[in-house]
Structure 1
């Protein structure tokens, strides 16, 4: 069986930057998981003593704290600074941008619509920068339930599919006098999705590697599944099952933006051991 890796996959700029920041600050803690990859978080704890604070109360007075790639709510950031320790911001610049847009558009009187998961930490952070009405939606059906005013500003979660975002735009534009649309989807997301789609159209089986809580990895799996029914989202080599590969000729590999190369190499090595 041949194994082919997608032309674009794995660590994005923001994640690489955050990992580097954490490694350069041994003994620090992160407020919430730095990235959505449990194995990489465990490596940082083991090799660099970077601990995880799940709440503000867990952060020790005067200790150094790294802000996660997804960012944190505006009020939490202010409270964290009050604790007196060094605050090291590893928020991805592609996440900082929608925060700034929401803050500005809200101050100018626009209703804010965010195409994204209201329960995702990125969206919680972005919503906190609004000073007026703000809504997070994932479908046209959710949009139809909103009572929006005439002026609307629209941003997207950085890891959403552009096709779905376009449908939200198409729904809003003819229904409001003014709709400000901002393309806040990360370029790396486009590139990884396009490469995964291309490979999935040719592969007999797709292995999508990434954290189970990773939004962009879930999107990759959804894309692969639509073109290659035998597509599997796994986090580690232990999840692989030999019978998946029986009779397959081409195994495609892709990975989410929070997946380090060492995990990808481990999984490819395990697949090769199956000798199918």
Structure 2
């Protein structure tokens, strides 16, 4: 017997413009030349990466990049540290720079702060590609933290400049700013969070409340996906995280329920459509 689920995809979910830009660039070159190197996963979504690999995208790490010569290499939306551009010049590598404009603007602001001898703190995820690129603007001198508790036993300068990874929560950023001021530090705070991402928080909560169940589709590596999934879960406790169709648990759904599908800024629309189709066939 069919479950007769009524499934709707959130029209605001799916790739942000930075990811669309990088993927469009990659597909154009793949069509012309048959292959293209990309420094790191082009997007934090294994299914989309697999689709592009099948078209000839070759994902490489920094250790491979250093060995490469006379090739074209795509820089993804997350951006890169200055060292990468230096290596490209030395190895005659043509960089196809698809760094997100929001990230580039942030990199420039951090570099200016560093050049002005400001002490810099970055609220961001340790080891995240974007954060590595941001730290690179400061010769890796900036202090990165992903939770304020990490600063509890750290000796911080009396005054510093605070920045944020572009995909962090706006409210969390301001909570951190207020707490640091309360602790007596003099802070110059720069809200550098991408509004295309942060606007989704509010809209997503509204979307999640409209349905019996929510299926949130995202790659497990997406930090933005984790934040947005939490937003769904808070608005609707009956929210489930899946990376692909295979992870759908039939037992979680009852007959005639309404189901909302949404995803991270790194979730392709084609994948959400596949999930919708699978749910409709239950």
TM-score by length of 2: 0.90
Q: Do 1:204 and 1:251's aligned partners in 2 also have CA atoms closer than 8 Å?
A: yes
| Equivalent residue number for residue 233 of structure 2 | 225
1:66 to 66, 74, 80: 74
| Equivalent residue number for residue 57 of structure 1 | 64
Q: Which moved more, 1:55-64 or 1:265-274?
A: 55-64
CA distance in 2, matches of 1:110, 1:205: 48
Post-superposition CA distance 1:216-274 (Å, at most 9, x none): 11111111112222222212111112111125722121111111111111110111001
1:8 to 6, 9, 12: 12
| Equivalent residue number for residue 261 of structure 2 | 253
| Equivalent residue number for residue 52 of structure 2 | 44
Q: Do 2:9 and 2:276's aligned partners in 1 also have CA atoms closer than 8 Å?
A: no
| Equivalent residue number for residue 92 of structure 2 | 84
| Equivalent residue number for residue 188 of structure 1 | 196
| Equivalent residue number for residue 122 of structure 1 | 130
Q: Which moved more, 1:16-25 or 1:196-205?
A: 196-205
2:23 to 8, 19, 23: 19
RMSD of aligned alpha carbons: 1.8
The change in CA–CA distance for 1:52 and 1:177 in structure 2 (over 3 A counts) is: closer
CA distance in 2, matches of 1:244, 1:5: 18
Q: Do 2:8 and 2:260's aligned partners in 1 also have CA atoms closer than 8 Å?
A: yes
| Partner SS, residue 180 of structure 1 | strand
Q: How does 1:200-211 map to 2 (within 5 A)?
A: 200-211=208-219
Q: Which moved more, 1:171-180 or 1:244-253?
A: 171-180
Q: What are the ranges of 5 or more consecutive residues in structure 1 without an aligned counterpart? A: none
CA distance in 2, matches of 1:268, 1:187: 27
Q: Do 1:10 and 1:259's aligned partners in 2 also have CA atoms closer than 8 Å?
A: yes
Pick 1 or 2: higher relative contact order, CA cutoff 8 A, min separation 6: 2
CA distance in 1, matches of 2:59, 2:140: 32
| Partner SS, residue 29 of structure 2 | coil
Q: Do 1:70 and 1:122's aligned partners in 2 also have CA atoms closer than 8 Å?
A: yes
Q: Do 2:9 and 2:272's aligned partners in 1 also have CA atoms closer than 8 Å?
A: no
